[in-house]
């Protein structure tokens, strides 16, 4: 179980759909005093559907099998016990476009 994930860390999450495990990048702030053991994360996908406002290309990394995109429309919250394991971390600079896309999607 993850104890307090950092923004930019990538975890596998079992979505319960025929054993489908998907990588999610953490976008919530680290807060050890939060009242609930929750994180908010954006799914990573290998399929770009042509919508750059909502699908952010992520840097190519060795710990993901192919080029990935952060799909901010798929943002979800998870209990820490639902995170199956950390597989990597994106640098803070790579997260800036994801944060901008979230602001756009959520009208913040």
Strand, helix or coil for residue 54: coil
pTM listed for this prediction:
0.91
Is 67 domain-assigned? yes
Strand, helix or coil for residue 18: coil
Is 27 domain-assigned? yes
| Count of structural domains within the chain | 1
Is 4 domain-assigned? no
Contact 49, 39 (CB under 8 A): no
Domain range holding 48? 9-106
Condensed to tens digits (0 to 9), the pLDDT of residues 8-60 reads 999 999 888 766 889 999 999 988 888 888 999 999 999 999 888 999 999 99
Residue 1 has pLDDT above 60, yes or no: no
Condensed to tens digits (0 to 9), the pLDDT of residues 48-94 reads 998 889 999 999 999 998 999 999 999 999 999 999 999 999 999 99
Is 2 domain-assigned? no
| Segment (H or E) for 69 | strand 69-71
- Residue 46's contacts (CB-CB under 8 Å, 6 or more residues apart) are 65, 66, 67, 68, 69
Residue 27 sits in a domain whose CATH number is 2.30.30.110
Is 1 domain-assigned? no
């Amino acid at each position: 179980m993850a104890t307090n994930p950092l923004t930019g860390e990538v975890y596998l999450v079992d979505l319960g759909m025929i054993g489908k495990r998907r990588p999610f990048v953490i976008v919530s702030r680290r807060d050890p005093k939060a009242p609930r053991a929750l994180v908010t994360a954006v799914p990573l996908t290998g399929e770009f559907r042509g919508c750059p406002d909502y699908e952010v290309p992520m840097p190519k990394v060795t710990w993901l099998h192919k080029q990935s995109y952060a799909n901010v429309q798929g943002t979800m919250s998870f209990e820490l016990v639902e995170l199956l394991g950390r597989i990597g971390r994106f640098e803070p600079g790579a997260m800036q476009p994801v944060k901008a896309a979230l602001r756009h999607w959520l009208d913040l």
